[in-house]
């Protein structure tokens, strides 16, 4: 199906001027009716440090351009200086609302390069899925909180944070940390599930659904909420595909594409879940998809808890697996082995791979090149927020500034991942 | 078709890139351009895994394509020589390549011809150098403060 990209170019939604030009507006070739203002980077609704240059005609947005890079810390460059064992601590800080997905995609790419991706024990894979789905719940709850706050439903912020905290406690119980876990590592996970994990997970999974029903009462059916979101920030399926959008932004336009179902990784093909799509591609669809994806993830977590296999939580490959702690005290060889793995790191055969997972924001990819050494030669992360932000000018065009806040929020960008 | 760890890879000459991506989109169903990035191979310690008819160059632009209908990925690799650091832009075929190509330009200095807005995206506009090149050092840059004219 050839796509009419000409439509996108003629729509002329993107304000392609430089920051310097924006600071001296007299040189901007705009007609007298419009003016250019900056929204952000310090703005309560910009989710960190996103700045948007807006060309306004009265209160209507004509063209706009997201200006990013305020959080750029060169994490891809840093990744080239860390061993594969250390790399997880680096990538986990990119998308800080869903750190486990970053670790997962990094580990999958490393394992594919090593050629051990088929040998990862089932328990490790199911633990990874369990944590990722819990993380998806916490990430979408964070979206509900910030989205509510952006639109003006301030009590929603407290509600969303309250439930997210429950999930974060669960992640803390399992991984030891609320965020930036470095728990999913090449070869498996860092530790086995702790005693009592099953009861605790099920307790939280029982606790959240009634709270989601509260959200429905508070927001979904409420006329003010619907007025603010319905028909706002509409993009079509053709536009979303042409702009490379993924995740809830793409699904809101009616394209049923979810890597977990369509290109399964880990053991998602053994689970039963629905891919949620919208019909109008507006802010309300994106809100509703994320809300209901929490319900789908709860379904998935229950299935994973039921089917969690036994066995090892990491691969027993001496090349990548450090020896057990107890062995280090009694065996000189184990001590040397441990020391080598954590100082030099393990060597990865030369080659290049791309692996992708479905993060809460869309396709999170990792392109990794190895030249046979102990550190990645090149480690590139394809952040879904980074690409999804391109849809923003097309959502904003023709809308009011106040709707802009709803649009930014509905893309759910995490600036740590956008800027990396 | 050559593959890398079981993933489909195709090597394309620079001047055929846009036509090939357009053909893949219109005829083979690769409807999404997922990723555009580059690699600087100047310090690569291993032999390059290129087919015989491809001349290895310092830089390589890597384009990731995805087909929804076939649930397949395809990776295109394009050699870019250091003395002519340009590559045709995919913007005409996939408008979503815009930000990714800007990032590649910012990080490697590869200019994408036909791109509507070939400016830096992550680094400050007045930054010198391209950080992800292998000859760009790590951690030796003095912090640049802007606009402090009356420093005490």
Q: Which residues pair with A322 in a beta bridge?
A: none
For residue B143, tell me if it sits in a domain: no
pLDDT tens-digit series, residues A148-183: 888 888 888 899 999 999 999 999 999 999 888 999
Rounded CA-CA distance A383/A394 in Å is 20
Contact between chains at A9 and B39 (C-beta distance less than 8 A): no
What is the per-residue pLDDT for A27?
Answer: 53
DSSP A147-172: HHHHHT-HHHHHHHHHHHHHHHHHHH
pLDDT tens-digit series, residues A9-57: 555 777 777 766 666 655 555 556 777 888 877 776 667 788 888 888 8
For residue B146, tell me if it sits in a domain: no
Rounded CA-CA distance B9/B1 in Å is 7
Residues making up chain B, counted from first to last? 152
Rounded CA-CA distance A18/A25 in Å is 11
pLDDT tens-digit series, residues B42-73: 888 888 888 888 888 899 999 999 999 999 99
What is the per-residue pLDDT for B1?
Answer: 55
What is the per-residue pLDDT for A24?
Answer: 64
For residue B151, tell me if it sits in a domain: no
Question: Nearest CA to CA, how far is A330 from chain B (Å)?
Answer: 37
Q: Does A72 touch chain B (CB under 8 A)?
A: yes
Residue showing tokens 């979904």: A220
Which residues does chain A have within 8 Å of residue B71's beta carbon, measured at their own beta carbons?
262-263
Contact between chains at B31 and A76 (C-beta distance less than 8 A): no
Contact between chains at B132 and A377 (C-beta distance less than 8 A): no
The confidence band for A286, taking pLDDT boundaries of 50, 70 and 90, is very high
End-to-end CA distance of chain A: 34
For residue B147, tell me if it sits in a domain: no
- A14, A367, A371 member nearest B46 (Cβ): A371
Contact between chains at B35 and A365 (C-beta distance less than 8 A): yes
Q: Which of the pair, A61 or A24, is modelled with greater confidence?
A: A61
The confidence band for A3, taking pLDDT boundaries of 50, 70 and 90, is very low
CA-based radius of gyration for chain B: 18
Helix (H) or strand (E) holding B10: strand B7-12
Which residues does chain B have within 8 Å of residue A352's beta carbon, measured at their own beta carbons?
4, 9, 39, 62
Contact between chains at B68 and A77 (C-beta distance less than 8 A): no
Contact between chains at A74 and B37 (C-beta distance less than 8 A): no
pLDDT tens-digit series, residues B3-35: 678 788 889 889 999 999 999 988 888 999 999
DSSP B79-143: EE-TTS-EEE--TTT-TTHHHHHHHHHHHH--EEET-S----SSS-TT--S-TTSTTSPSS-PPP
For residue B10, tell me if it sits in a domain: yes
For residue B132, tell me if it sits in a domain: no
pLDDT tens-digit series, residues A245-284: 999 999 999 999 999 999 998 889 999 999 999 999 899 9
Contact between chains at A77 and B37 (C-beta distance less than 8 A): no
- Residue B39: domain span: 3-113
Asked if B75 contacts A369 with a C-beta cutoff of 8 angstroms, the reply is: no
Which domains, and CATH codes, for chain A?
82-316+348-360 (1.10.645.10)
Q: Which residues pair with B67 in a beta bridge?
A: B72
Q: B152 pLDDT exceeds 60?
A: no
Question: Best interface-test mutation with B: which of A24, A254, A375, A378 has the largest number of B CBs within 10 A?
Answer: A378
pLDDT tens-digit series, residues A364-417: 999 999 988 889 999 999 999 999 998 998 888 888 888 888 898 898 888 888
Which residues does chain A have within 8 Å of residue B37's beta carbon, measured at their own beta carbons?
367, 380, 382
Contact between chains at B31 and A378 (C-beta distance less than 8 A): no
- Which of A277, A226, A178, A186 is closest to A406 using CA atoms? A226
Q: For residue A192, what are the contacts with CB-CB under 8 A and spacing of at least 6?
A: A127, A313
Q: Does A261 touch chain B (CB under 8 A)?
A: no
- Number of domains observed in the structure of chain B: 1
pLDDT tens-digit series, residues A180-220: 899 999 888 988 899 989 999 999 999 999 999 999 888 88
Residues within 8 A of B (CB atoms), A 359-388 only: 363, 365, 367, 369-373, 377-378, 380, 382, 386-387
CA-based radius of gyration for chain A: 23
Residue of B nearest to A419 (CA): B122
Asked if B132 contacts B108 with a C-beta cutoff of 8 angstroms, the reply is: yes
Question: Nearest CA to CA, how far is A232 from chain B (Å)?
Answer: 22
Q: Which of the pair, B101 or B4, is modelled with greater confidence?
A: B101
For residue B62, tell me if it sits in a domain: yes
The ipTM is 0.86
Backbone angles phi, psi at B33, to 5 degrees: -95, 110
Rounded CA-CA distance A343/A374 in Å is 10
CATH code for the domain in which residue B34 is found: 3.30.460.80
Q: Does A115 touch chain B (CB under 8 A)?
A: yes
- Going from the C-alpha of A18 to that of each of A86, A389, A413, B99, B121, the distances in angstroms are 37, 17, 22, 14, 10
Rounded CA-CA distance B118/B120 in Å is 7
Backbone angles phi, psi at A52, to 5 degrees: -125, 125
Backbone angles phi, psi at A310, to 5 degrees: -85, -175
Give the pTM: 0.89
Residue of A nearest to B30 (CA): A1
For residue B37, tell me if it sits in a domain: yes
Residue of B nearest to A371 (CA): B46
What is the per-residue pLDDT for A30?
Answer: 53
Rounded CA-CA distance B152/B149 in Å is 9
């Amino acid at each position: 199906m050839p796509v009419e990209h000409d439509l996108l170019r003629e729509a002329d939604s993107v304000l392609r001027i430089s920051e310097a030009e924006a600071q001296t507006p007299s040189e901007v070739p705009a007609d007298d009716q419009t003016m250019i203002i900056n929204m952000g980077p310090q703005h309560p609704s910009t989710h960190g440090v996103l700045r948007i240059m807006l060309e306004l005609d009265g209160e209507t947005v004509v063209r706009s351009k997201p200006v990013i890079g305020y959080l750029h810390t060169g994490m891809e460059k840093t990744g080239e200086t860390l061993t594969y064992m250390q790399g997880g601590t680096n990538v986990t800080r990119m998308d800080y609302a869903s750190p486990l997905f970053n670790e997962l995609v990094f580990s999958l790419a490393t394992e594919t390069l090593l050629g051990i991706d088929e040998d990862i024990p089932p328990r490790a894979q199911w633990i990874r899925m369990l944590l990722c789905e819990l993380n998806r719940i916490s990430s979408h709850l964070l979206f509900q909180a910030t989205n509510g706050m952006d639109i003006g439903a301030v009590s929603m912020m407290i509600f969303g944070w309250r439930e997210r905290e429950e999930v974060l406690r669960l992640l803390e119980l399992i991984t030891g940390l609320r965020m930036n876990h470095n728990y999913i590592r090449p070869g498996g996970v860092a530790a086995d599930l702790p005693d009592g994990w099953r009861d605790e997970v099920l307790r939280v999974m029982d606790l959240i659904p009634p709270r989601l029903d509260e959200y429905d009462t508070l927001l979904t059916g409420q006329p003010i909420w619907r007025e603010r979101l319905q028909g706002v920030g509409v993009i079509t399926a053709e536009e979303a595909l042409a702009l490379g959008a993924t995740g809830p932004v793409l699904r809101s336009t009616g394209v049923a594409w979810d890597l977990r179902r369509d290109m399964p990784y880990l053991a998602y093909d053994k689970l039963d879940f629905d891919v949620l799509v919208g019909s109008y591609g507006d802010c309300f669809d994106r809100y509703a998809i994320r809300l209901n994806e929490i319900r789908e993830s709860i379904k998935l977590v229950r299935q994973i808890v039921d089917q969690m296999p036994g066995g090892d939580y990491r691969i027993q490959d001496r090349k990548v697996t450090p020896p057990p702690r107890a062995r280090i005290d009694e065996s000189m060889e184990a001590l040397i082995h441990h020391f080598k793995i954590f100082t030099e790191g393990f060597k990865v055969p030369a080659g290049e791979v791309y692996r992708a997972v479905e993060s809460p924001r869309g396709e999170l990819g990792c392109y990794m090149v190895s030249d046979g050494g102990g550190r990645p030669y090149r480690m590139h992360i394809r952040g879904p927020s980074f690409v999804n932000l391109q849809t923003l000018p097309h959502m904003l065009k023709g809308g009011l500034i106040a709707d802009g806040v709803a649009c930014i929020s509905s893309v759910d960008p995490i600036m740590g991942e956008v800027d990396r | 078709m050559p593959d890398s760890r079981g993933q489909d890879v195709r090597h394309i000459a620079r001047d055929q890139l846009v036509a090939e991506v357009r053909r893949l989109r219109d005829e083979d169903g690769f409807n999404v351009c997922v990723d555009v990035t580059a690699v600087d191979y100047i310090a690569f310690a291993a032999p390059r895994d290129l087919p015989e008819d491809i001349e290895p160059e310092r830089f390589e632009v890597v384009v990731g394509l995805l087909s929804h209908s076939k649930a397949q990925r395809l990776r295109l690799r394009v050699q870019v020589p250091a003395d002519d650091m340009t590559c045709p832009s995919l913007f005409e075929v996939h408008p979503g390549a815009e930000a990714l190509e800007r990032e590649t330009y910012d990080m490697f200095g590869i200019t994408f011809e036909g791109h509507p807005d070939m400016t830096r995206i992550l680094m400050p506009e007045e930054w010198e150098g391209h950080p992800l090149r292998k000859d760009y050092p790590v951690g030796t840059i003095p912090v640049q403060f802007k606009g402090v004219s009356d420093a005490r």
